[in-house]
Structure 1
Amino acid sequence: MAAVRLWIAASHDAAHRNGGWAFVRAGAEPVGRAGGERRTTRARMALAGFLSALKDVPAGAALAVVAPRPDALVLHALLKPPADPPTDAPDLRAALAKALTGRTWTLAIGDAAAATPTAFVTAWADMASEKAKASGAFEHAIPKPNLAKAKGL
């Protein structure tokens, strides 16, 4: 079975402490979701986006994850836990550790400046952060017409 391709991005506004995340999963029909929260961190948003992306991926499926550098650094601690593990977002880290048990996955840094799926999810994460600032926590599907316009899926 080929690896499930997944792009994830997070956004955080330090001044207002709101954040957002988005993911797109390639397949016969691309799937994407975006969400956000108030009073959060970028790391928490990256982890929340990854957890959301894994909700309906088959248990044995391998993953090929691509994220912008700041988010890839957060996710890397899940792939190769450091000697001194991060202490932020313990609830999300525990849920991800469980969801990733027995999975093979790779992590790559994506270019958020080029016309790529990484740029697409980065834009959606920024929009999600703004929506969370205005209306609080949410999670919604990215509309299919928007997914159809994403370059590289």
Structure 2
Amino acid sequence: MAAVTVWIASLCRPDPGYGGWSWVRRTEGETGAAAIKGAAGGERRTNGARMSLTALTEALAALSDLPADASVTLRFLDPDLAGHLVDAHGHYATAEADAWSAARQAVAARPMLEMVPAAPSEPASGFLNAWAEFGLDTSRSRGSFKAAIPKPNLLKFPG
């Protein structure tokens, strides 16, 4: 069975304002360029919750080439991500209903998903934040966009 670790990051400045997100996936047991994939994107007129949920949805959608029962560890930088999915009373969150719905479906499709908060001090955090910042900056000039992180950059991923 495949084991994969996925890291996600998102940001929004101001909130609401311009936002960016990024994800990187590493498959255990594979080496070189085949072992790692990633993407970044951004939107105008958005908010932090939407960017966090978009990062989650995009990252999990990128696992479509893996069996549904693949073991996935999701390391996320947004400390509020769990709150974007479920509120303090255990009810499904209602803010950003369309983004939340897409994220909920993506999570439900992965029965072997473990969500783990990542520390901002981890080396992977700086890499992901830089690409989320790239997404934010690019959305300012081009509008909504999504692009793969180039392989030469991914090979420098410290995760």
TM class by shorter chain equals 0.7 to 0.9
TM-score by length of 2: 0.82
Q: Which residue of 1 aligns with 2:124?
A: 117
Q: Equivalent pairs: percent with the same residue? A: 33
Equivalent residue number for residue 19 of structure 2 = 19
Do the aligned residues in 2 keep the contact of 1:8 with 1:22 (CA within 8 Å)? yes
Q: Which residue of 2 aligns with 1:128?
A: 135
Q: What do you get for the CA RMSD once the two structures are aligned?
A: 2.2
Match of 1:33 in 2: 39
Shift of 1:15: 6.6
Contact kept in structure 2, 1:66 and 1:118, CA below 8 Å: no
Unaligned runs of 5+ in 2: none
How far apart are the structure 1 equivalents of 2:62 and 2:88? 24
Counterpart CA distance in 2 for 1:80 and 1:90 is 13
TM-score, normalising length from structure 1? 0.85
Amino acid at match of 1:151: P
Give the Cα separation in 1 of the matches to 2:50 and 2:154: 24
SS at match of 2:8: strand
Of residues 51, 62, 65 in structure 1, which corresponds to 2:74?
65
Aligned amino acid, residue 3 of structure 2: A
The whole-number CA distance in structure 1 between the counterparts of 2:48 and 2:70 is 27
SS of match in other structure, 1:83: coil
- Match among 115, 121, 124 for residue 107 of structure 1: 115
CA distance in 2, matches of 1:135, 1:110: 30
Query: Aligned pair in 2 of structure 1 residues 122, 82: CA closer, same or farther (>3 Å)?
Result: farther
* Bigger proportion of residues as strand: 2
Q: Which range moved further: 25-34 or 88-97?
A: 88-97
Aligned residue pairs total 149
Letter in 1 for 2:12: H
Counterpart code for 2:13: D
Look up the match of 1:6.
6
Q: Give the aligned residue type for 1:64.
A: T
| Runs of at least 5 residues in structure 1 that lack an aligned partner in the other structure | none
